[in-house]
A and B are shown apart, each in its own frame.
Chain A
Amino acid sequence: NAGVIQTPRHKVTGKGQEATLWCEPISGHSAVFWYRQTIVQGLEFLTYFRNQAPIDDSGMPKERFSAQMPNQSHSTLKIQSTQPQDSAVYLCASSLDLKGRGSDYTFGSGTRLLVI
């Protein structure tokens, strides 16, 4: 079990460019979550997929951010026209999605995005 795999580990983009972040959840986990972590705001929920379907995107900035899960083995988070304030560590997590359980919640190591 390689755990949740996130690529790239580090990404530097110029202001206005697009950034795509990748997440491979643990095989068999039906729930995938994206979080953003900054020093100021801490860990913030972005979006959640269950069995590849988008369930809750209440934490996603409405403009420029989008997430997809085209198959059970990977999810992507895309940021268009990146801005310096998008600089953060983006974390992906997966779990078996047993309601109220969460004992197998596993995070990846994250992608550190720097927008210059």
Chain B
Amino acid sequence: SQWGEENLQALSIQEGEDVTMNCSYKTYTTVVQWYRQKSGKGPAQLILIRSNEREKRSGRLRATLDTSSQSSSLSITGTLATDTAVYFCATDDSGYNKLTFGKGTVLLVSP
């Protein structure tokens, strides 16, 4: 999982498999955002889940949020080679979208 003093995590899977990435955060947040960053690009927002939501879906993506344990997860079903990227979770305790990012999870999906 991401956050704190943890190093960058890495996962290597085969195309078609499902994967779940975890994130824990330390401070209050109104929202958890999940981003994907491909090589040479900036992070792209995938899913935004608010503190009053437990789950959010978007296509093959599913994010969960547990405010009691201050943790979130991002699941991808039926992964594709094009899902290869670094995935970040980010929180906002400022109320104005000043984001604090986790260390990230490197996902490698082999064809």
Question: Chain A: residues with CB nearer than 8 A to chain B?
Answer: 4, 31, 33, 35, 39, 42-45, 48, 50, 55-56, 91, 93, 95, 97, 99-103, 105-110
8 A-B contacts (beta carbon < 8 Å): A33-B97, A33-B99, A42-B101, A43-B101, A105-B99, A106-B45, A109-B41, A109-B42
Interface residue tally of chain B, by bracket? 20 to 34
Which residue in B30, B42, B96 is a CB contact (below 8 Å) of A50? B96
- Inter-chain CA distance A33–B96, complex, in Å, is 11
- B98, A56: Cβ atoms closer than 8 Å: yes
Grouping DSSP codes into helix (H, G, I), strand (E, B) and loop, the A interface class, with mixed when no group exceeds half, is strand
Contact (Cβ within 8 A) B30 A43: no
Cβ contacts under 8 Å, B96 to chain A: 31, 48, 50, 55-56, 97, 99
Determine the chain A residues whose CB is within 8 A of the CB of B111 once the complex forms: none
User: What CA separation (Å) do A35 and B99 show in the bound complex?
Assistant: 9
A99's contact among B8, B50, B95, B99, by CB below 8 Å, is which? B95
Q: Which residues of B contact A91 (CB under 8 A)?
A: 42-43
